[in-house]
Structure 1
Amino acid sequence: MRITACFKTDKLPFAYRLGVLSIIKECLKKGDSGLYKSYFQTNRPKPYAFSVYLHDFRFQETEISLSGFDLHITSPDYQFIIPFLNGLQKTTQFRYKQYLFHRGSIRFGNEQKVHSSRILVRTLSPILIENERHQPLSPHDPAYNDQFLAISNRISQSLRGQSLKSFVKITPVSTKKVVIKELNDSYLKAREEQRVSSDYLFFTAYQGRFMLEGDPSDLQWLVDVGCGLRTGQGFGYIQVESE
């Protein structure tokens, strides 16, 4: 299921994904507190991906000035998305630190059905692939496809209880490197304890168009749940352009 929720606000922090994630967490907590604990008080992979579209934005010194943003979220797991939606519908105002978000309309997107073994996809949030040493990989790196496959299999086993049915090939068509400034709770704690010196975490990911080839059911699952690492933190949301 694909859902878009519109929000009004005039300011966001540079590392806004954590603020948007707080909306998802609050909605799920209100919809099903037990499910919230099982996903957000453990290191389980998350059964969703999201992207954020900023309206009329302008970068300032430490913040983003804007008129609002759209949260796009996708998940194949109705046990997750229905409680999330219930919490979203119950709540019209969210607060993250000093920032206030007013929820507007909620829209349901068209389901993207995959019928073939080869699809062209476009990223709505960049795909993050890292090797075992947590070093980012370019889509042109010889190890990229193997790591993509290993990550996808690991997440599939956790969320679906099974590996991918067959090898999935990912080929860059037209891609661009993006470096994302971000924060998370563990990094904030490390910064408070002066164990790190940088103000932000930096993630090197890639956006654009990719060709995916594999079993149609695996491709469908990747379209619905997202691709790569940190989909639950705003990476790896894709949509089908053609088959």
Structure 2
Amino acid sequence: MRVKVFLEVPKEMSIYYRRSFLSFIKNVLEEEDADYCEKIFRKGGFKPFTFCVFFGDIKVNGEKLYNNGKAILTVSSGSPDFFVRFYNGVKRVKTFSGKYINGSMRILKTQMIEEEPLSESKCRFRTLSPIVVVTKDKHPVLPEELKSDGDTFIVFDNDVFTKELRFSLRHVFNGLPELSFKNEKGKKAVVKHLVGNSEEEKVIKIVAYQGSFILEGDPFVLNEIYRYGLGFRRHQGFGCLEVVR
């Protein structure tokens, strides 16, 4: 299931806006069910959702993001427990203030979307937010076709990319799903991102995959990926997907 939240937002905000939108999601859950919120956000816990934010007429200048004052937050989950709490909670929210949105945003309306089930073993997806894939020693991984000179820190390997994609889904499936990935129109994306708590925040650069690709696997696996997202850092605003029909 998905919820689209239509927002009126400041026309100037930080490129680190994901941090404030995650805080918004957490705040909604906390107001609706504090015990549930504490459970899923405790360190090492499985966060059963992904999200992305679409801005109108977006322009970026340094660490500032400019837009036309409108945004759509899409939150996706395969967990009924999460979905019911978030959907019921967000309907009661009128405004939310955040450091990295440079003030307050106003909720205009919410829309619940039930995805059309995927019935085939092959599906074409497109990223709504970039997919983060890393090795155990924190090296970013991209498909081999995206290799370029000078990227010595990045692992360009199709088999490793697929292997780490599967590993990123271990909490969704309580194991590693069988999965095949094929790049179609992908590219490297580099995203500045905030990590750490509010007292010890730091900026890191995340290398990610952005574009369209084909996944092959059991339809159940593909449906769960569609709902929960793909890759690491899904709950931080990465790995949200849409189906290319």
The alignment's TM-score, normalised by the length of structure 2, stands at 0.87
5+ residue gaps in structure 1?
192-198
Q: How does 1:3-152 map to 2 (within 5 A)?
A: 3-10=3-10, 11-66=12-67, 67-97=69-99, 98-140=102-144, 141=157, 142-152=159-169
Query: Partners of 1:59 and 1:19 in 2: how far apart?
Result: 17
Q: Is the Cα contact below 8 Å between 2:195 and 2:203 reproduced in 1? A: no
Where do residues 147-226 of structure 1 align in structure 2 (5 Å cutoff)? 147-152=164-169, 154-157=170-173, 162-164=174-176, 166-186=177-197, 189-190=199-200, 200-226=203-229
Tell me which moved more, 3-12 or 220-229. Answer: 3-12
Are 1:139 and 1:172, in contact at CA under 8 Å, matched by a contact in 2? yes
1:109 offset after TM fit, Å? 2.4
Poorly superposed stretches of 4+, deviation over 2 Å: 56-63, 188-191
Counterpart residue number, 1:195: none
Encode CA deviations 1:65-110: one digit per residue, 9 max, x unaligned. 2212110111111101111112211111001125211111111224
1:150-205 alpha-carbon deviations (Å, 9 max, x no partner)? 222x2224xxxx335x511111111011111111334x5445xxxxxxx6211111
CA distance in 2, matches of 1:44, 1:112: 29
Query: Which residue matches 2:154?
Result: none
The CA RMSD measured in Å over matched residues stands at 1.6
Asked if residue 234 in structure 1 is aligned to residue 245 in structure 2, the reply is no
Give, in angstroms, the shift of residue 228 of structure 1. Answer: 0.7
Gaps of 5+ in 2: 145-156
Q: One-letter code of the match for 2:116?
A: Q
Kindly indicate whether the alpha-carbon contact (under 8 Å) linking 1:31 and 1:85 is maintained by their aligned counterparts in 2.
Answer: no
Number of positions where the alignment pairs a residue of Structure 1 with one of Structure 2: 228
Q: Distance in 2 between matches of 1:79 and 1:190?
A: 31
Which deviations, in whole Å up to 9, do the C-alpha atoms of 1:115-144 show, x marking residues without a partner?
011111111111110000111100221311
Alpha-carbon distance, 1:237 to partner: 0.7
Q: Structure 2: how far apart are the matches of 1:167 and 1:58?
A: 39
User: TM-score of the superposition, structure 1-length normalised?
Assistant: 0.88
> 2:149 corresponds to which residue?
none
| CA shift for structure 1 position 39 | 1.4
Cα distance in 2 between the residues matched to 1:110 and 1:241: 16
